[in-house]
Amino acid sequence: MQSIVEESNQIDVSNLFRNGDLVPWHNEMGIGYLSHKHCKMLWTLGIRPTLETDDARDYFEQIISCANFFFTNNQESHSENDNLYLEAYLELVRYLKCLFIYYDSLVDFATPETKKKLRNWEWCEIIKSLYQDRDVDRILIVTYNYDIFIERLLSELKIPFFIKPFPTKENKHRSDSKIILYKPHGSISFSYRIQSPDTQFITPSPYPRTMVELKDFSICTEKGRMTTMDTFIAIVPPSGDSLRLNYKWAEQIQTAIQEDVKSLGENTSVIINGLSYWHVDRLEIDKILLNLSPNVRDIVYVDPYPSKVLTAVLGSKFANFKMLRHIDKGVIT
């Protein structure tokens, strides 16, 4: 996304607070989402668009660690109004959806320059070649990103896909599509069935959110129609442990991933791209890796700055593991 937008500093995924002052406030005109006016709890904690990247990460971990603690221990007696960090958590989740909808609005696939960049993008070439290869039965894509870049790319390439395990009626594409997409940490495209008008916007209590299921959502990837007014936001923030948060919708996606990964045989190729293997995600990622055969045909970890821990884990299990610092069309042999 950064390489496509002319002013690349408009998109910063390392420091998610840096551009908070540029984000629109829901459906209103004007900018300044990350402000005392709209995010009082985050602002009270000291969160500003001027934060350095390391400080921003520290704040994320503080807020999410508190949420992980209260959800795990079922502290339902604590109202969000009694706890600064839980209120900040609710503001943070909604802010993230607003931020990535804003980032998505900056990426214009229609311009000739963008089309040229996409054609030259190695991942675009890999996806097209795998899709056209008759020897490739299925392509399973698990992404922990909230953006809809991959969905928009596939639509631009006129390649059908299915977002699993959403009910078929909520998907525009067929469930027998060759490409299956899983988003276990949520997405800006997940639209909750109940919306709150701007004038009645109230941050919901965190506790009923654990029971929200995928059937309560529809999928919207159309530019200008994705809403930030959902009464529930289906996003697991960075440093958020979806297994500890006990979100029903996330559990449904994780279950679908485990079932499909278990069905894969040794004639399977796996590409892992830029995965941080952060400590709160390890158990979730390990469940996927443990369900893969140790003798899969290829397992390739691509990252210019690879995690030493993930490299060790992959090398300890998979006989055909290799690590690459750069991606190219020959990544799968």
Render pLDDT for 36-83 as a digit per residue (tens, 0 to 9): 988 999 999 999 999 999 999 899 888 988 887 877 655 544 454 568
Please give the span between the terminal C-alpha atoms of the chain, in angstroms, as a whole number. 28
User: What is the average pLDDT value for the chain, to the nearest integer?
Assistant: 85
In a domain, 51, yes or no: no
Which tens digits make up the pLDDT trace of 276-286?
787 777 888 99
In a domain, 21, yes or no: no
Q: What SS3 string covers 86-151?
A: HHHHHHHHHHHHHHHHHHHHHCCCCCHHHHHHHHCCHHHHHHHHHHHCCCCCCEEEECCCCCCHHH
In a domain, 109, yes or no: no
Mean of pLDDT values over 182-194 = 92
In a domain, 87, yes or no: no
27-36, 221-230, 258-267: range with highest mean pLDDT: 258-267
Residue 203, token pair as written in the block: 């941050």
For 12-21, 22-31, 248-257, which range has the lowest pLDDT when averaged over its residues? 22-31
- Asked whether residue 328 carries a pLDDT value surpassing 60, the answer given is yes
Total domain count for the chain?
1
In a domain, 270, yes or no: yes
pLDDT band at 311 (very low <50, low <70, confident <90, very high): very high
The letter for the amino acid at 174 is R
Range of the domain at 268: 264-333
In a domain, 274, yes or no: yes
In a domain, 251, yes or no: no
Walk across the sheet containing 179-182 and list its strands: 139-142, 179-182, 161-163
State pTM to two decimals. 0.89
Which tens digits make up the pLDDT trace of 200-259?
455 555 445 667 889 989 898 887 778 778 888 899 887 666 666 678 899 999 999 999
Rounded-to-integer distance, Cα 315 and Cα 299, Å: 10
In a domain, 333, yes or no: yes
